[in-house]
Amino acid sequence: MIAPRRPGRGASFNARGDSPARRPILWTAAEVALATGGDVGSVDWQASGVSIDTRTIQAGDLFVALKGPRLDGHAFVADAFKRGAAAAVVARHGRGATFDARGVKPARVPEGLGPDAALVRVADTQVALEGLGRAARARADARVVAVTGSVGKTGVKEALRHVLSRQGSTTASVGSFNNQWGVPLSLARMPSDAAFGVFEIGMNHAGEITPLVKMVRPNVAVVTAIAPVHIEFFPSLEAIADAKAEIFFGVETGGAAVLPAENPYYARLVASARAAGVERIVTFGAVDRPEVTVRARNFELHADGSNVEAEVAGRRIAYRLGLAGRHWVANSLAVLAAVYALGADVAAAAAGLADVPAMKGRGERHRVAIGAGAFLLIDESYNASPASMAAALAAAGAVAPGPGGRRIAVLGDMLELGGESAAHHAALSGPLREARFDLVFTTGPHMAMLAKSLPPAMRGGHAESAASLAPVVVAALRPGDVVLVKGSAGSRTGTIVQALLVPPANNGA
């Protein structure tokens, strides 16, 4: 029999009765059993969080042992308990289990644990995680936003989290937890008393968004943009728009779709939303059309942000945007449109856009000492597509180098572009010249096409791997430089960022 929650001001307890963290209780053993259909045994416990990765687990978390394409989480259950896990969700049976004399396959106990370990035994741990996510969504009275799009979805999600957290308790996806593991995990972490929930939903194949959005059940679904991302897996941009439009099929009754009025596939998205039964359409864009709900009347782009004059459903709002680039003006309009669709305070949200922090790998800036001065590093290494690459180059082009400095681009491959890859990479020479870059370093087989299309004076160097390019870039730096690093995650340009953060002290002397 499961005992009720133990008293205490937000204390969480593991199987030993210890209180490893003063975090609010998120799940009790009884609640997890009900949500997952699992067997929790006779050991009572409460969890203050949910984790699928022992590298980032916190004391008091419930560990869910997922089996991925490379690793089986069951191999890390004992480690999870050593790090303070309150309990672990495991599969009842698994490889290596033996049959007893009656031919029955007994429940598996992961290696390194005793028979009384605080385990939740389920038929399938992935299904159990999804059950936790659905249960968390069902018990919360939060107003929920789901965000998708070819570009900008993580930025819009983070900006929404930032501005809504000032209006009430807000939970949001961590980083880019937007797939079949990240979405239910993010939902499972939502407290029952949350006022707002913001969840990112991604895809690179048709059909992937539908099951995820039906878990999230958003009150508002945002599509940031349709652009040639993951085009390798789609016959056309229309097909990408249709795949993104799957997000409308999970919208709650009376909910809204927030759509980009400037996008060429806007009408297609509107039609898809209507077909899914979404009656409220809220639109955003820097276009002067009366049917656009949230539109930029005027904006001034600066090296460190923008000043925007917008109109939200006929109401004029002026605000400062603390992140640079025209793409962030578009993102800010999407944020205000989502806040408006939620029925939250739009003016307060606009004021909060002034101090939205830059994200690691997505525009974060570092001033790094070198020689007798410093250079500015703009880290865009998390991911890249033709649209996001052009936006990042334009934003960096607005930053003036210091005395004796230059604009330098360090670019890695844009992946999953299929047969159009060579053309998309070579076409970057135009935005690079428009943004007045002086030197361009490239890495990867696809970026070799760009290197060939550049004027000889702009060619800083090319290497097959980011690791081999890094020392070449470091050696070329001097005080006053503005350095943009960007590439798809698979191109490993993050290793170049790490090398640039600690350049040799005598460099540029």
- pLDDT of 454-491, one tens digit each? 999 999 999 999 999 999 999 999 999 999 999 998 99
Of 39-53, 101-115, 126-140, 473-487, which gets the smallest average pLDDT? Answer: 101-115
Residues 304 and 404 in one domain: no
Residue 11: C-alpha distances to residues 20, 84, 192, 207, 215 (Å): 8, 14, 16, 41, 29
Is the pLDDT confidence value at 41 over 90?
no
The pLDDT assigned to 277 comes to 97
- Write the burial class of residue 141 (CB in 10 Å: 0-12 exposed, 13-18 middle, 19+ buried): exposed
Question: Percent of the chain having pLDDT more than 90?
Answer: 81
User: For residue range 241-287, what is the model confidence (pLDDT) as tens digits?
Assistant: 999 999 999 999 999 999 999 999 999 999 999 999 999 999 999 98
Look at residues 248, 260, 194, 202 and name the one whose alpha carbon lies nearest to residue 221: 248
Domain hosting residue 187, numbered range: 140-355
* Same-domain pairing of 156 and 88: no
CA 485, CA 440: separation in Å to the nearest integer? 10
- pTM for the structure as a whole: 0.86
Asked if residue 340 and residue 194 are part of one domain, the reply reads yes
Bridge partners (DSSP) of residue 300 are 307
pLDDT of residue 13: 40
For residues 440-464, average pLDDT: 95
Q: Are residues 32 and 101 in the same domain?
A: yes
Question: In this structure, what token pair is assigned to residue 376?
Answer: 């500015």
Asked if 369 and 345 sit in the same domain, the reply is: no
The amino acid sitting at 370 is I
Mean pLDDT within 16-36: 79
Q: How far is CA 94 from CA 40, 62, 67, 117, 118, in A?
A: 18, 20, 11, 17, 18
Q: Is residue 134 part of a domain?
A: no
Residue 92 confidence (pLDDT): 86
Quote the CA–CA distance of 297 and 274 in Å, as a whole number. Answer: 28
Q: Residue 15 and residue 45: Cα distance in Å, rounded?
A: 6
pLDDT 10s digits, 130-180: 999 999 999 999 999 999 999 999 999 999 999 999 999 999 999 778 999
pLDDT at 443 over 60: yes
pLDDT for the residue 110: 73
Question: What is the number of structural domains in the chain?
Answer: 3
b vs e for 238-261, b when ≥16 Cβ sit within 10 Å of the residue's Cβ? eebbbbbbbbbbbbeeebbbbbbb
Length of the chain (residues): 509
Please report, as a single letter, which amino acid is at residue 265: Y
Mean pLDDT of the chain: 90
Can you spell out the DSSP letters for 244-312?
Answer: HGGGGGGPPTT-EEEEETTSTTHHHHHHHHHHTT--EEEEEES---TT-SEEEEEEEEETTEEEEEEEE
Q: Which residues pair with 373 in a beta bridge?
A: 370
Report yes or no on 135 lying in a domain.
no
Query: Do 302 and 267 have their domain in common?
Result: yes
Which residues lie below 8 Å from residue 299, measured CB to CB, with a gap of 6+?
Answer: 286, 306, 307, 308, 309, 326, 329
| Whole-number Å distance between alpha carbons of 173 and 415 | 24
Reduced to 3 states, what is the DSSP secondary structure of residue 344? coil
Token readout for 316 is 């004029």
Determine, yes or no, domain membership for 340.
yes
In whole angstroms, what is the distance from residue 423 CA to residue 479 CA?
A: 34
pLDDT at 100: 42
Question: Do 344 and 399 fall into the same domain?
Answer: no
Answer yes or no: do 404 and 470 share one domain. yes
Radius of gyration for the alpha carbons in the chain, expressed in angstroms and rounded: 25
Same domain, 92 and 58: yes
Same domain, 345 and 442: no
Asked whether residue 16 is assigned to any structural domain, the reply reads no
Alpha-carbon distance 92 to 128, whole Å?
12
Boundary residue ending a domain (328, 355, 382): 355
Query: What CATH number does residue 218 fall under?
Result: 3.40.1190.10
- Would residue 178 count as lying in a domain? yes
Q: What are phi and psi of 447, to 5 degrees?
A: -70, -15
- What are the structure tokens assigned to 261, written together? 């009025």
Mean pLDDT of 191-216: 96
Residue 54 sits in a domain whose CATH number is: 3.40.1390.10
Q: In this predicted structure, what is the pLDDT of residue 104?
A: 42
